[in-house]
Amino acid sequence: MQDQPEGGSIIMIGSVSGTRPSPGTAAYGAAKAGLHHLATSLAVEWAPRVRVNTVVPGFVATESVAGHYGDADGVAAVAATVPLRRMATPDDVADACLFLASRRR
């Protein structure tokens, strides 16, 4: 990407588990912490030709969200903890990635 005429953009998908502990997810959290460090290191090393960002979406309402947070009441309880009072959607995450991938500087 550094050799391309207009540089490039790398977008990684992180997790809050990379910055705060969550019981039973040590390997996942360690991997996401490593991803965060990789992204910040590459952002400094490869700037300004290559933009490196990490999107950390928080709670996302996917098809499997109920399996993780329980019934609709459990999902609603989790959503109530988000300042926007709702979970992100996959489209919200995609929109953030599309913005970061755009050629705007």
* pLDDT tens string 13-62: 999 999 998 888 999 999 999 999 999 999 999 999 999 999 999 899 99
Least confident of 8-12, 79-83, 100-104: 100-104
- Name the domain count of the chain: 2
CB 27 within 8 A of CB 15: no
76 and 31, same structural domain? no
Q: Any idea which residues carry the catalytic annotation? A: 28
Domain identity same for 81 and 100: yes
60: β partners:
88
Q: Quote the domain boundaries for residue 30.
A: 1-56
35 and 85 fall within a common domain: no
The chain-wide mean pLDDT, for the chain, equals 92
Whether 22 and 63 share a structural domain: no
> Do 51 and 80 have their domain in common?
no
- Global confidence as pTM: 0.84
pLDDT of residue 45: 96
Mean pLDDT of 83-90: 93
